[in-house]
Amino acid sequence: MQRKKVFISSVQSEFAAERQMLFDYLTSDALLGKFFEPFIFERMEAKDQPAQMVYFGQVEMCDVYIGLFGKKYGFEDITGVSPTEREYDLATELHKTRLIYIKNAAKREEKEAILISKIEKDVVRKSFSDTDELKAAVYASLIRYLEEKEIIRLFPFDATFNRNATPEDIDEKKVKNFVARARIKRNFPFDESDDYRTVLSHLDLVENEKVTNAAILLFGKKTQKFMITSSVKCCQFYGNRIEKPIPSYHIYDGDVFELIDQAVSFVMSRIDAKVSDRNKTVLADVEPELPLQAVIEAIVNAVCHRDYTSNASVQVMLFKNRLEIWNPGQLPYGLTVEMLKTKHASRPANPLLARPMYLFGSIEQVGTGTEMIVEKCIEKGLRPPEFEQDSNFNVTLWRNEDNQEEMNISEKVTEKVTERVTENQRMILESITKNPYLSSDELSSIVGISAVKIRQNLSKLKAKNLIERIGPNRGGGYWKVTDIDQKIIKTECKSIQENVPENLPDVPENVPENLPDVPENVPENRLAAIIDIIGNDAEISMLNLSKTLNVTHKTVKRDIQVLKAKGLIERIGPNKGGYWKIKTQKDL
């Protein structure tokens, strides 16, 4: 880190000893010497420049201005103003941090007294009688400067007050939602009727009008306005290396609870899942390839325990053979990677942030989270997860071994058509090979270009005889890839189609006759996923469903229509404020 420049200003003849003392002190002190670089004119080498130009140049470059004032006003220029006063005026004009120290004196020169009176109207000054008092006062002021600039902290980052935030930046509704859940989860001694500021004060998140960083991370209206790198970056790669093209890349913003939900949804919507049949119940069990609890715990740990002073963000990266979660942080002193695989003491890096997350039910405080990650992966028959500490703390969850043995579909598509299509067209081919029922809007979301551009590229692919449309453009048609080895496609795509139930229960007799037509060829595994998601969150909106499933809002509305028509779900209450109900056999 570049040291902060300190300009020491005074009448040289009056404060020769003090100036030299401060220069030596700031240069040699073990702490201050790391952060500050002092300047006094006496220590400057000879230059072919007017002294006044040198003074002003140093004031302009400095970060901190220290002014010493006593009995004498000093030399006056032709306008009757001393260099010391001009230096102070320039520092004021340039909005420098000004630290003023006035030596006690029974009598002062008239102009010096007037100057001191002017200064006292601008800033708070400190008086001193000798060099020891001056040294102590400068030390205290510079340490406070380092704290205010967050160069050093006496408290953890989460417990530090945010200089730019006020209670108005806290979302009251988020606090009340937290209270409702914490009351159920941990018997939290407040309810929604309590004033949200009282709740924040109880959690030590606010003090008068001062707001901690933890409060912003937990309940901020716009968290990234204050901590831009608190976002979570999620990306998916076709193979086992970080390389382009990247089929899916998202930067998620929001409070810590929103970040966790979005990152977990990103992963779970992009890994394989087995769907059981419905011989015994209308609800199908969905068994994801990676254990959900392990994924949640790994992401929660990264968000909760990261170093929020770092310019890096949490990164969630899904490869063909593994899930990696990078956290810009370090393990607490005394805790090793091997200790994470067994029960260990809980030492959160951000304790003020961790407690509300515990009350909310996101984490445990007994040091069993990482041990649970290991157990769940082994129970699933997966390789044990790996923990690694380097410049970041990294967690690796290994995917099903079958994924590593099968050849990546993207590699096959690339091998067959790479010289004949553009990058966007190649991504379209890969996508419709996996799911031939994708609409233009859905392809637009996947590829990252407009639906109009998608349709243009589809036309070009048809002209190259690489694809053809089977059936109508709307309501039942699908895409067929004609130029890629269909045997390869069948092998690569089998995980999409196997384990899908052959049929759903018959539609109940009491379904209204005037229901709108139900679209054909809706993937059953996506319908099962919607039921599973609703089972975990009955109040989820269609917008959040579309984000979780990585499909368009229009597609989710269509799928909901199908589930309603089949008598599997119903909406209780209005669209806003109501909830979803999954019908059981008893209901049917």
189 and 283, same structural domain?
A: yes
Average pLDDT in the 393-421 region?
62
- Is 363's pLDDT higher than 70? yes
CA–CA separation, 174 and 218 (whole Å): 9
Most confident of 59-63, 445-449, 463-467: 59-63
Of the residues 497, 516, 533, the one at which a domain ends: 497
Domain at 332, CATH number? 3.30.565.60
* pLDDT at site 315: 94
137 and 178, same structural domain?
A: no
Q: Is the residue at 581 inside a domain?
A: no
**Cβ-count burial 79-107 (b if 16+ within 10 Å, e if not):** eebbbbbbbbebbeeeebbbbbbbbebee
Q: Is the residue at 347 inside a domain?
A: yes
Domain at 460, CATH number? 1.10.10.10
Q: Is the residue at 61 inside a domain?
A: yes
Which residues, in sequence order, are CB contacts of 289 under 8 Å at separation 6+? 271, 272, 273, 399, 400, 403
* pLDDT at site 523: 63
Region of 187 (left: φ > 0; alpha: ψ -120 to 50; beta: rest) is left
For the chain, the straight-line distance linking the first and the last C-alpha, in angstroms and rounded, comes to 68
* pLDDT at site 480: 83
Average pLDDT of the chain?
81
- Is 54's pLDDT higher than 80? no
Helical (H) or strand (E) element with 9: strand 4-9
- Is 469's pLDDT higher than 60? yes
Average pLDDT in the 36-56 region?
76
Of the residues 377, 405, 433, the one at which a domain ends: 405
Average pLDDT in the 293-297 region?
92
Confidence of residue 489 (pLDDT cuts 50, 70, 90): very low
195 and 317, same structural domain?
A: yes
- Is 408's pLDDT higher than 70? no
* pLDDT at site 365: 57
260 and 221, same structural domain?
A: yes
- Is 222's pLDDT higher than 90? yes
- Is 405's pLDDT higher than 90? no
Average pLDDT in the 222-229 region?
92
Number of structural domains found in the chain? 3
Q: Is the residue at 490 inside a domain?
A: yes
230 and 192, same structural domain?
A: yes
164 and 81, same structural domain?
A: no
417 and 361, same structural domain?
A: no
35 and 122, same structural domain?
A: yes
162 and 120, same structural domain?
A: no
* pLDDT at site 17: 93
423 and 350, same structural domain?
A: no
Q: Is the residue at 576 inside a domain?
A: no
96 and 34, same structural domain?
A: yes
Q: Is the residue at 537 inside a domain?
A: no
Of the residues 436, 467, 497, the one at which a domain ends: 497
Q: Is the residue at 585 inside a domain?
A: no
* pLDDT at site 439: 82
For the chain, give the percent of residues with pLDDT over 90: 33
Domain at 58, CATH number? 3.40.50.450
- Is 93's pLDDT higher than 90? yes
Confidence of residue 49 (pLDDT cuts 50, 70, 90): low
- Is 46's pLDDT higher than 60? no
More confidently predicted of 44 and 562: 562
Q: Which domain holds residue 460?
A: 406-497
Which residues, in sequence order, are CB contacts of 561 under 8 Å at separation 6+? 516, 518, 519
Confidence of residue 428 (pLDDT cuts 50, 70, 90): confident
pLDDT, one tens digit per residue, over 94-110 is 999 999 999 999 999 99
3 state SS of 446:
helix
- Is 345's pLDDT higher than 70? no
195 and 308, same structural domain?
A: yes
The least confident of 45-59, 409-423, 571-585 is 409-423
CA–CA separation, 116 and 123 (whole Å): 10
Q: Is the residue at 514 inside a domain?
A: no
Task: Give the count of beta carbons closer than 10 Å to the beta carbon of residue 70.
Answer: 20
Task: Give the count of beta carbons closer than 10 Å to the beta carbon of residue 17.
Answer: 10
Alpha helices, DSSP H only, in 72-153? 83-93, 110-122, 131-148
Torsion angle of C-alpha atoms 22, 24, 29, 31, degrees rounded to 10: 60
* pLDDT at site 280: 53
